[in-house]
Structure 1
Amino acid sequence: MLGLEYFKFEDVWSPLVLAVMLLVTAGYFVLTGPLNEKFGQGQRVSAGRKILFVLGMVALYLAQGGPVELLGHMMFSFHMVSMALSYLVAPPLLMLGLPAWVWQAAVSYLGRGPLRRLKFLTHPIVAALVFNGLFSFYHIPVIHDYVMLHFGVHRLYYVVLFAASVLMWWTLVKPLPDGAEVQGLKKMGFIFLNMVLLTPACGLIIFAPEPLYATYSDPAVWAKAMGYCISGDPATLISRFGGPGYFGYLEPRIDQQVGGILMKFIQEIIFASMLAYVFFQWYRQENREDDDEPIGDDFKLNQL
């Protein structure tokens, strides 16, 4: 299916990555189970939170170690699906899945170390600019191809981008119950800002007159990039398949356009849903405050 049948099991499912993900998930259940009484002061972690965390780990695994990760090296459209899963779907699920006491411990620890100097990155506008800026910068063709061809840079950039996505989502998810919270119109403005900031990068990808990325159009570059996610000699890929076009159900330019559209569509669905939720919450709160206002003296006099 989509060419996955030509690759080994370990290439498609990345057992090492799967083992790490399962180990982290097991650690989470120990942390929220037996160790919760010791460190969480008995604060029960609901089944809903646990389900959210597991869903977040599944999304992250599929994007960074499962079939979507491999397909993302062959088709740009799947690359964008991988990016959406990694930075728009997995982070909020994982953040909501962790209990508040874990976040309190993490914030307390980071606040005492050298990273406290980076606290300005938690400001909503700064966080939005950093995440969307890093995402857009990564998709400049020369930058993207360089990152895809250098494994160490590739992993480091993805870790930094994931951290930036957590900071961006912090304002919307608010995993800690205490502290200042962006509410109402300000939160809606923050959501709208994120929707706007990603538009230029997606627009350039969608409306480009030709394929932008050598990773998905040049067989030699593609084979070298594939060498980081498959076993064996990547040079044999060219003799076996000729290039990425063998697997593409669309020609490179159309595949590129579909990828840009998918990324923007997924982002719009997620953020538009949050925008609607925040709006109705704000609207209900405003109406509740109006209903709670005391009756004026003039109205009382008219009733006498």
Structure 2
Amino acid sequence: MLGLEYFTFADKWSPLFLAFMLVLTAVYFLIVGPLSSRFEGSAPVSAGRKVLFVSGMAAYYLAQGGPIELLGHMMFSFHMISMALSYLVAVPLIILGIPVWLWRAFDRVNPFRKLGFLARPIVSAVVFNGLFSFYHIPVVHDFVMLNFTVHRIYFLILFITSMLMWWAILNPIPEKDKSSGLMKMAYIFLNMVLLTPACALIIFSSHPMYATFSDPAVWAKAMGYCVSDTSTLLTSFSGPQDFGYLDPLIDQRVGGIIMKFFQEIIFASMLAYVFFHWYKRENKEDDPLPGDIPPGNLNQA
């Protein structure tokens, strides 16, 4: 399917990265399970929260180590699916999957406290979307794809800045969450706007922009990031077009549309989530619940 049959199990599933993600997931279950009593204020973690964490880890693994990662080196549309899963799907699921008491424990020993300004809403939005857009400038993208150490470092930085961006929206520590619902909704709109120019550039380009998806020699070198042996690639295949189901330019445009679609759907869902919780909190604060005793009648109770 899509040419995956021509690659080995290791090429498609990245066993070392899979093992790493499984170890991290096992550590999570140890901490929220048998070791939870060692953390101040710990409480049982719901099955739903655990499902969120595992789903986030699975999405990140598929995007950065599974078949989607391999396909993302052959088709730009899958590259954008990988980026969307990594930074717009996996990250918020992981944040929501970690219990509040564990976030509080981390906050008490946070070694990056002095860099807290990076978590400010506008700063984190500009930094993440700026780095994401900068990465998709053709010369930058091709350089990163061909230099594997730079690739790993850049993607790690994108993951961290994505965490900061989502933290401003989802902040799971109530006492640290200073933003109102209206501020969060404005912040979400800002994120939607900031990514639009990069997507528009990709969608409306009149020619294929990335050599890694159009030049066979450059593509073969870039494939070294996820394929153990690239020496026979150009003898077996003429280039990435052998795997693509679309013309390179159409594939590029589809990739830009996919990213914008993912962004719109996810941030629209976040708008609904933030509005619901803001509305719920405002009504809880303004309207006494049935059976509440007014402050003036406390002495009579």
TM-score by length of 2: 0.91
Question: Quick one: which amino acid aligns to residue 252 of structure 2?
Answer: Q
Q: CA deviation at 1:109?
A: 2.1
* Contact 1:57–1:90, Cα closer than 8 Å, also in 2: yes
Matched, 1:178 2:175: yes
Deviations 1:144-182 (A, max 9, x none): 000000010000000000000000000211121222331
* Contact 1:131–1:164, Cα closer than 8 Å, also in 2: yes
Identity %: 67
- In the alignment, the residues of structure 2 paired with residue 72 and residue 21 of structure 1 have an alpha-carbon distance, to the nearest angstrom, of 20
1:121 counterpart (100, 118, 121): 118
* Contact 2:40–2:105, Cα closer than 8 Å, also in 1: no
* Contact 1:172–1:187, Cα closer than 8 Å, also in 2: yes
- Report how many residues are paired: 288
Matched, 1:161 2:144: no
Residue 90 of structure 2 corresponds to which residue in structure 1? 90
2:218 counterpart (218, 221, 234): 221
Matched, 1:246 2:242: yes
Matched, 1:191 2:188: yes
- In the alignment, the residues of structure 2 paired with residue 167 and residue 32 of structure 1 have an alpha-carbon distance, to the nearest angstrom, of 23
The runs of 5 or more residues in structure 1 that have no matched partner are: 293-304
* Contact 2:125–2:190, Cα closer than 8 Å, also in 1: yes
- In the alignment, the residues of structure 2 paired with residue 262 and residue 87 of structure 1 have an alpha-carbon distance, to the nearest angstrom, of 14
- In the alignment, the residues of structure 1 paired with residue 35 and residue 183 of structure 2 have an alpha-carbon distance, to the nearest angstrom, of 38
Question: Quick one: which amino acid aligns to residue 180 of structure 2?
Answer: Q
Q: CA deviation at 1:229?
A: 0.6
Deviations 1:121-145 (A, max 9, x none): 0110000000000000000000000
Deviations 1:184-230 (A, max 9, x none): 21111001000000000000000000000000000000000001211
Question: Quick one: which amino acid aligns to residue 144 of structure 2?
Answer: V
* Contact 1:81–1:262, Cα closer than 8 Å, also in 2: yes
- In the alignment, the residues of structure 2 paired with residue 128 and residue 211 of structure 1 have an alpha-carbon distance, to the nearest angstrom, of 28
* Contact 2:84–2:262, Cα closer than 8 Å, also in 1: yes
- In the alignment, the residues of structure 2 paired with residue 4 and residue 123 of structure 1 have an alpha-carbon distance, to the nearest angstrom, of 42
- In the alignment, the residues of structure 2 paired with residue 109 and residue 145 of structure 1 have an alpha-carbon distance, to the nearest angstrom, of 39
* Contact 1:224–1:235, Cα closer than 8 Å, also in 2: no
- In the alignment, the residues of structure 1 paired with residue 12 and residue 151 of structure 2 have an alpha-carbon distance, to the nearest angstrom, of 19
Q: CA deviation at 1:231?
A: 1.4
* Contact 1:174–1:181, Cα closer than 8 Å, also in 2: no
- In the alignment, the residues of structure 1 paired with residue 20 and residue 70 of structure 2 have an alpha-carbon distance, to the nearest angstrom, of 18
Deviates more, 1:151-160 or 1:43-52: 43-52
For the residue of structure 2 that corresponds to 1:256, the secondary structure is helix
For the residue of structure 2 that corresponds to 1:259, the secondary structure is helix
Residue 13 of structure 1 corresponds to which residue in structure 2? 13
- In the alignment, the residues of structure 2 paired with residue 145 and residue 160 of structure 1 have an alpha-carbon distance, to the nearest angstrom, of 18
Task: Specify whether residues 253 and 8 from structure 1 end up closer, same or farther in structure 2 by C-alpha distance, changes over 3 A only.
Answer: same
Question: Quick one: which amino acid aligns to residue 133 of structure 1?
Answer: G
For the residue of structure 2 that corresponds to 1:227, the secondary structure is helix
* Contact 2:77–2:255, Cα closer than 8 Å, also in 1: yes
Deviations 1:100-127 (A, max 9, x none): 23222322222xx4x3332110110000
Q: CA deviation at 1:41?
A: 4.1
Matched, 1:103 2:78: no
Residue 299 of structure 2 corresponds to which residue in structure 1? none
Deviations 1:32-65 (A, max 9, x none): 1100012254411111111111001100100010
- In the alignment, the residues of structure 2 paired with residue 180 and residue 170 of structure 1 have an alpha-carbon distance, to the nearest angstrom, of 9
Q: CA deviation at 1:291?
A: 5.9
Question: Quick one: which amino acid aligns to residue 244 of structure 2?
Answer: G
- In the alignment, the residues of structure 2 paired with residue 208 and residue 40 of structure 1 have an alpha-carbon distance, to the nearest angstrom, of 54
Question: Quick one: which amino acid aligns to residue 266 of structure 1?
Answer: F
- In the alignment, the residues of structure 2 paired with residue 47 and residue 27 of structure 1 have an alpha-carbon distance, to the nearest angstrom, of 16
The 5 A counterparts of 1:1-304 are 1-110=1-110, 113=111, 115-232=112-229, 234-283=230-279
TM-score by length of 1: 0.91
Question: Quick one: which amino acid aligns to residue 198 of structure 1?
Answer: L
Deviates more, 1:174-183 or 1:127-136: 174-183
Q: CA deviation at 1:286?
A: 5.4
Q: CA deviation at 1:283?
A: 4.6
Deviates more, 1:150-159 or 1:269-278: 269-278
